């Protein structure tokens, strides 16, 4: 009898514990940490914490890369906090490009929904994997590897990129090299580029030093 009571009570404990852990909607008033945001009390969670309508709208591509990325990360979609996933919309105007970049925190799955995009990544062994993607095609970019997307169609392309992390991170290679105050001499020494090229790229991308 005592055994049965113990089993029943431990089952009850497990099921109430599981219910509390169904989700951890981000409390955006607190800090984002490596393990995500703290949880909003479930009593004040609503359906809108799990919905984002921001990806309905085309991003503004009037910029140097003619591209716009509209994220649905924890800040825009608090309900995905702690679930290990996220998504973003990519608008790529004619001749637009998402320059060579990495997401240190997650792998990416890209689905083209309009137009056509040349996409590729480079492995750590420097093998190149490039493909022209058409509407409906998907491509996966393994975590941390350098990759890019270039409009291949001459008309605006649209794609959705999902990530295996709510905070995949983004580092754009050219910005890392030329859009900060790393001294030109060090950029030249570490990239084997000449002085004129480094100065030109720093001027275009807003770097100093
Ligand atoms: C898009 O961005 C450009 C450059 O920042 C700005 O001039 C323009 O007003 C923006 N367009 C819209 C529709 O917001």
CA dist 33 and 36 (Å) reads 5
Pick the residue with more confidence: 11 or 151? 151
Maximum mean pLDDT: which of 11-20, 27-36, 101-110: 101-110
Q: What is the tally of structural domains in the chain?
A: 2
Residues 174 and 79 occupy one common structural domain: no
Reduced to 3 states, what is the DSSP secondary structure of residue 94?
coil
Report residue 1's pLDDT band, with 50, 70 and 90 as the boundaries: low
Instruction: Supply the residue whose CA is at minimum distance from atom 3 of ligand 1.
Output: 62
Q: Annotated binding residue at 3?
A: no
Beta-bridge partner residues of 134: 116
**Ligand 1 in reach of 46 Cβ (< 6 A):** no
Please compute the mean of the pLDDT values over residues 79-91 and round it to a whole number. 96
The H or E element containing residue 4 is helix 2-20
**Ligand 1 in reach of 62 Cβ (< 6 A):** yes
Pick the residue with more confidence: 9 or 194? 194
Report residue 20's pLDDT band, with 50, 70 and 90 as the boundaries: low
pLDDT at 156 over 90: yes
Q: What distance lies between CA 155 and its chain's CA centroid?
A: 24
Query: What is the CATH number for 122?
Result: 2.60.120.10
What is the phi/psi pair of residue 177, to 5°?
Answer: -85, -35
Q: Are 164 and 126 in contact (CB under 8 A)?
A: no
Residues 117 and 102 occupy one common structural domain: yes
pTM comes to 0.86
**Ligand 1 in reach of 60 Cβ (< 6 A):** yes
**Ligand 1 in reach of 57 Cβ (< 6 A):** no
Residues 178 and 76 occupy one common structural domain: no
Instruction: Supply the residue whose CA is at minimum distance from atom 10 of ligand 1.
Output: 60
CA dist 24 and 39 (Å) reads 5
Look up residue 4 and give its two tokens. 């049965």
Residues 6 and 105 occupy one common structural domain: yes
pLDDT of residue 3: 58
Report residue 34's pLDDT band, with 50, 70 and 90 as the boundaries: confident
pLDDT at 101 over 90: yes
Ligand 1 atom nearest 60 alpha carbon: 1
CA dist 123 and 14 (Å) reads 44
Ligand 1 atom nearest 63 alpha carbon: 4
Residues 103 and 13 occupy one common structural domain: yes
Report the mean per-residue pLDDT for the chain. Answer: 91
pLDDT of residue 2: 52
Please compute the mean of the pLDDT values over residues 115-139 and round it to a whole number. 98
Report residue 117's pLDDT band, with 50, 70 and 90 as the boundaries: very high
Q: Annotated binding residue at 147?
A: yes
Residues 130 and 198 occupy one common structural domain: no
Q: Which domain, by its residues, includes 184?
A: 170-209
Residues 144 and 203 occupy one common structural domain: no
Residues 36 and 74 occupy one common structural domain: yes
Residues 57 and 12 occupy one common structural domain: yes
Residues 198 and 144 occupy one common structural domain: no
Residues 188 and 120 occupy one common structural domain: no
Residues 64 and 114 occupy one common structural domain: yes
pLDDT in tens, 50-81: 999 999 999 999 999 999 999 999 999 999 99
Angle, helices 184-191/195-205, rounded to nearest 10 degrees: 120
The H or E element containing residue 199 is helix 195-205
């Amino acid at each position: 009898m005592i055994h049965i009571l113990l089993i029943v009570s431990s089952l009850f404990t497990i099921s109430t514990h599981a219910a509390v852990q169904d989700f951890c909607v981000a409390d955006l008033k607190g800090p984002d940490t490596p393990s995500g945001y703290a949880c909003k009390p479930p009593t004040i969670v609503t359906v809108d914490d799990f919905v984002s309508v921001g990806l309905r709208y085309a991003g503004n591509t009037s910029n140097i890369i003619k591209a716009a990325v509209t994220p649905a990360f924890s800040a825009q979609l608090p309900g995905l906090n702690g679930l290990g996933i996220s998504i973003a919309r990519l608008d790529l105007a004619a001749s637009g490009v998402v320059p060579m970049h990495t997401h240190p925190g997650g792998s990416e799955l890209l689905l083209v929904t309009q137009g056509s995009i040349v996409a590729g990544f480079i492995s750590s062994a420097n093998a190149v994997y490039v493909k022209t993607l058409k509407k409906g095609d998907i491509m996966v970019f393994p975590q941390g590897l350098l990759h890019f997307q270039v409009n291949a169609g001459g008309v605006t392309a649209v794609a959705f990129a999902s990530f295996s992390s709510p905070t995949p991170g983004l580092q754009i290679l050219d910005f890392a090299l030329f859009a900060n105050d790393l001294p030109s001499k060090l950029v030249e020494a570490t990239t084997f580029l000449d002085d004129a090229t480094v100065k030109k790229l720093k001027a275009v991308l807003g770097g100093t030093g």
